[in-house]
Amino acid sequence: MKIEFHNNHFTLNEVREGIYAAISKPGGGAVANAGFVDLGDGVIVFDTFNTQQASKELREAAERITNQSVMYVVNSHYHGDHIRGNQSFKDISILSSEKTLEKMKEIHPPRIEKQKVDIDGLTQYIASLEKQLNESGESTLLDQVSFLYEMKQSLPDLELTLPNETFKEEKILQGTDRRAKLFTLGGGHSFCDSMLYLPEEKVIFTGDLVFVQCHPTFFDETDPISWIDILQEIKELDIETVIPGHGPIGTREDIDAMIHYLAHLLSIQHEESTEIPLLYKDWSSPDVYFQNIKSLKSKERA
């Protein structure tokens, strides 16, 4: 059920009573999906978006709708579109795996500093895209320009806010009304990917281990074989609803779709692919399909 909460960054859906998916809007400051869970005596927020203006709206939505304070924040993995909004929750327990914290400390300070000192370069790039937009009228450019304005707005006050509590394999978060299981099976999409499972409600927040109806992004650390193994293990859980890192709310069938997609890429990595298979043709971000094949080939050469 869609909840009326007006903002530029995400739409809000109640997938079960007290369990909400915050699905990113194109061109907003969210970029990835997030969500929150009412435990009865407090709220878990899962991931915090790409900008503090988006995460501020997320916290406001979570506390207003549940009439509870945020008790825990979870970072599924270290990528910026899932953690850069942490500063809106710096008074809260922020949880991550040990590996996620390690990579956030290693990778983000120089990356954020570089972006901060090059705001003028970003401004010039936005102006060049606006010129293209005026000439072509392409809707994809409109979303990109809007997103970059959100990035520019976030940078002057952006503070890297690190998790202040870590776990190794799993942690049970118990409330008065329900319990949630926070766990990791290692790295597949990133160095380490964590999930939040609500067993009684058969709902799982997967972070970027699942993309729904959009091509998943590969990074240098992405390990598609381990990714498949993790998804196979997740399938053993009793799941009906999947809240993915990107794309609309899914079901357990979307876990199968991710497994098939990854297996397909592994099977054709030695071929020259010039066309996206029909099964994935309607997925968003089609250029990513060819980037992923290129990524697999470069890993093999290395």
Predicted confidence at residue 4, as pLDDT, reads 73
Note whether residue 140 is domain-resident. Answer: no
Predicted confidence at residue 301, as pLDDT, reads 63
Question: Alpha helix (H) ranges present in 181-251?
Answer: 224-234
Q: What is the pTM of this model?
A: 0.95
Strands 93-97 vs 165-167: parallel, antiparallel or unpaired: parallel
Note whether residue 108 is domain-resident. Answer: no
Predicted confidence at residue 135, as pLDDT, reads 84
The values of phi and psi at residue 54, to 5°, are -75, -40
Mean pLDDT of 43-56: 98
Domain count, the chain: 1
Q: What is the mean pLDDT of the chain?
A: 95
- Residue type for 298, please? S
Note whether residue 115 is domain-resident. Answer: no
- Dist. CA 271–CA 293, nearest whole Å: 9
Strands 43-46 vs 70-74: parallel, antiparallel or unpaired: parallel
Note whether residue 122 is domain-resident. Answer: no
Predicted confidence at residue 298, as pLDDT, reads 83
Predicted confidence at residue 99, as pLDDT, reads 98
Note whether residue 135 is domain-resident. Answer: no
Dump pLDDT digits (tens) for 111-150: 999 999 999 999 999 999 999 988 887 777 899 999 999 9
Note whether residue 114 is domain-resident. Answer: no
Note whether residue 146 is domain-resident. Answer: no
Q: Is 16 helix (H, G, I), strand (E, B) or coil?
A: strand
Mean pLDDT of 147-171: 97
Dump pLDDT digits (tens) for 219-238: 999 999 999 999 999 999 99
Note whether residue 29 is domain-resident. Answer: yes
Mean pLDDT of 13-42: 97
CATH number at residue 60: 3.60.15.10
Predicted confidence at residue 122, as pLDDT, reads 97
Is the per-residue pLDDT at 302 higher than 60?
no
Domain of residue 9: give its range.
Answer: 2-103+160-301
Q: Are 243 and 212 in contact (CB under 8 A)?
A: no
